Copies of this chain bind each other. A is one copy, B any other.
């Protein structure tokens, strides 16, 4: 958000290394299950070094999730601009499938950890995006049928990013199969 005064060394490449290491560990142990100690050790440095790049652990989590949340925001913006409720819903569904495939491990992260839900509520703009996505998928007057269907869809997509059985599947195969399932549901 705020453009930080350029540090002496090149760009935020130190931050990027931390984010990558954190993502690897989050994917295995979850967010709460990953300590700064573990991140530091996997980089061969100490905890204190990481605190030079990030001021809190939460700042690392938001940095890890940022790309997926940004893509989600773009997707919602795009879908909302379409004319007709069905077209908007279809754009939301196919966009979600695409997002899950592109950010597989990140979505797997959103799956479980209660820490995520707490963190999301702290950033109201993200809550707004999720609500708008809900409107696209469910319409403004949700029925039990649409609610259950969309929970099945969302949950299934999330788990598909997480499932170790599916990591070997190429992106295009996974995308095609997920689309088939999604279309069968809606």
Contacts and interface: CB of A to CB of B under 8 A. Distances in A.
Interface of A: 28-30, 32-33, 111-115, 144-145, 147-149, 151-160, 162-163, 165-166, 169, 173-174, 177-178, 180-181, 184-185
Nearest to A148: B177
Contacts of A155: 155-160, 162-163
Contact of A147 (B29, B156, B166, B184): B166
A151 B152 CA distance: 11
Contacts of A28: 114
17 contacts: A30-B113, A30-B114, A32-B32, A33-B114, A33-B115, A145-B180, A147-B165, A148-B160, A148-B169, A148-B174, A148-B181, A149-B181, A151-B156, A151-B159, A155-B158, A155-B160, A155-B163
Pick from A156, A159, A173 the residue with the most CB of B within 10 Å. Answer: A156
A140 to B, nearest CB: 15
A181 B152 contact: yes
A157 B155 CA distance: 8
A174 B147 CA distance: 10
A9 to B, nearest CB: 35
Contacts of A158: 155, 159
A29 to B, nearest CB: 6
A170 B28 CA distance: 35
Given A147-B166, A181-B152, A185-B181, A111 B114 contact: no
Given A112-B112, A153-B156, A154-B159, 5 more contacts: A29-B114, A30-B113, A152-B156, A152-B159, A185-B185
